Structures are given as structure tokens and as C-alpha cells.
Amino acid sequence: MKRSRINKLIEDAIDFLKDKNFYLPQFAFWDLKQWLNKRIEIKEIIYNQLGWDLTDFGRGNFSTCGLLLFTIRNGNMETIKDGGKNYCEKIMVVQESQITPMHHHFQKIEDIINRSGGRLMIQIYGVRDNNKLSNKHINVTMDGIKYTIEAGTIIELEPGDSITLTPNIYHKFWGKEGEGPVLVGEISSVNDDLIDNYFLENTSRFPEVEEDITPKYLLYEDYGKFLDLSIFSTEN
């Protein structure tokens, strides 16, 4: 994916968030020069994977298979035992008919929340041996109410609705066709996309970026590319 397109997609997402009266922290808007002027004080941003995240899941067609999100706050698996944050919050922009592919998490429990916009469609299955789809019924909670549903059920979340997904529940989601983008919140236990995602089909979690222009915003996977991470190795 070209950097110029990534810049534009993030700009469009910022406009959408403003339209929905959802406001991001200041570091969401730092340009490369501002990032380069920061030192050890942003260690938590770097190590806890905060910031912009955009992917086409290796499919090469972001419009039909992709996701744009911003991780606002997050803990770290290594610091929980020492009293560190044990929670995560993300905000996502899901386009109509834009699929996030079927996947599950080994450790993370999460609430997926339709904050505003169109309806969010989410399909769920259980997980059986060897990470295959299970045809057994699944117990889920939606807004505090427990349901037992058939494998493969597609659930429609209206604005304000949410679903709790415990570990080892396969799920894929997309915005309902014809209803425009969806503002989706995620509240979860600590999130680590490097080790805690399992996709049903062969998938690349992070995009290959063609640097045709200077980045206006850094994705969190850009930190190692553009910043000197050695300055964060000092315990402080």
C-alpha cells in the first residue's frame, strides 16, 4: 500500500471521528519531525503499541478487506505482574462491506461496541482442535445479557450495542452494506497483535508500505522504521 494512500485514509478517519465527536490524544497528530524530537518520555507509546494501525491483511484491497484503528491506551504483557495496566482501548473505523477476516485470540477478552454510524455485522464460531471452526453452539454476552447461539450466526449490532468475546471465539466483522462507515470501540484486556491473533486463513497482519511520500502520521508498526528505538532501552 502506498504511503500517500495511508496518509489520506488516516486524514479521512480523523474527519469521520470529528464528525462523530470522538477526540483522539495529541500524539495522534504528531508528524515525523515531532516524533523524532521525542525521547524516553514516549516509551509507553512505543512498547505498548499505541497509535495508528492500518492493514489490508495482505489481500491488497483495503476497501474490501481491511481495518483502520487507533489504540488509545494499552498495557503490556510483561508489566502486568508488576501492577501495570491490564486493559486496552481502541477506536476503529469500519467501512460498509469491508471485512476484518475470521480470527480469534488466545488470551484477550474484548467488548466490541458499535459507537455510531451504520450497523456492525459480526459472525462468530467456536474453536476446536488445531484452530479449526467448531459447529457447536456458543455462549456469548451482549450488553450484560447471555445468549446461546448457533455456530456461524451473523449478529447485527445497532449503534449502542456491544458483544463480549472471550478467548477462542472466532469472529469476523464488517459494516452493513448501504449504511456507511461504523465507529467501533473495543475495550479489552491487554492487547498484543504480535502474538495473540490467529487467522483462519493465511493473513498478513501488517501491510507492506511503498514509501512514495513522507508519512504524515506514523503507524505503530512504523516506529521501528523511523525512530531510534535504542533510546528506549534504558529502564526509566
Residue 74 makes CB contacts below 8 A (sequence gap 6+) with 48, 49, 50, 85, 87, 88, 89, 190, 191
* pLDDT at site 207: 85
- Does 15 score more than 60 pLDDT? yes
Domains of the chain: 3-232 (2.60.120.10)
What letter would DSSP give residue 47? H
Residue 159 makes CB contacts below 8 A (sequence gap 6+) with 114, 115, 116, 117, 119
The percent of residues in the chain predicted with pLDDT above 90, rounded, is 88
Cell of 58: 495482505
> Nearest CA to 61 among 13, 101, 9, 98?
98
DSSP string covering 152-209: TPEEEE-TT-EEEE-TTEEEEEEEPTTS--EEEEEEES---TTTS-EESS---SS---
* pLDDT at site 193: 87
- Convert the pLDDT of each residue in 34-54 to its tens digit: 999 998 999 999 999 999 999
Question: How far are the Cα atoms of 31, 47, 48 from residue 36, in angstroms, in the given order?
Answer: 9, 16, 18
> Nearest CA to 124 among 163, 147, 96, 154?
154
- Convert the pLDDT of each residue in 65-119 to its tens digit: 999 999 999 999 888 888 889 999 999 999 999 999 999 999 999 999 999 999 9
Cell of 166: 472471550
Top-confidence residue, 206 or 59: 59
Distance separating alpha carbons of residues 195 and 207, to the nearest angstrom: 17
pLDDT class for 8, splitting at 50, 70, 90?
A: very high
* pLDDT at site 135: 96
Distance separating alpha carbons of residues 50 and 60, to the nearest angstrom: 24
* pLDDT at site 235: 52
DSSP string covering 100-148: EEEEE-SS--EEEEEEEESPEEEEEEEEEGGGEEE-S-EEEEETTEEEE
User: What is this structure's pTM?
Assistant: 0.95
* pLDDT at site 205: 82
Beta carbons of 91 and 67 less than 8 angstroms apart:
no
> Nearest CA to 215 among 23, 15, 30, 26?
30
Distance separating alpha carbons of residues 63 and 15, to the nearest angstrom: 18
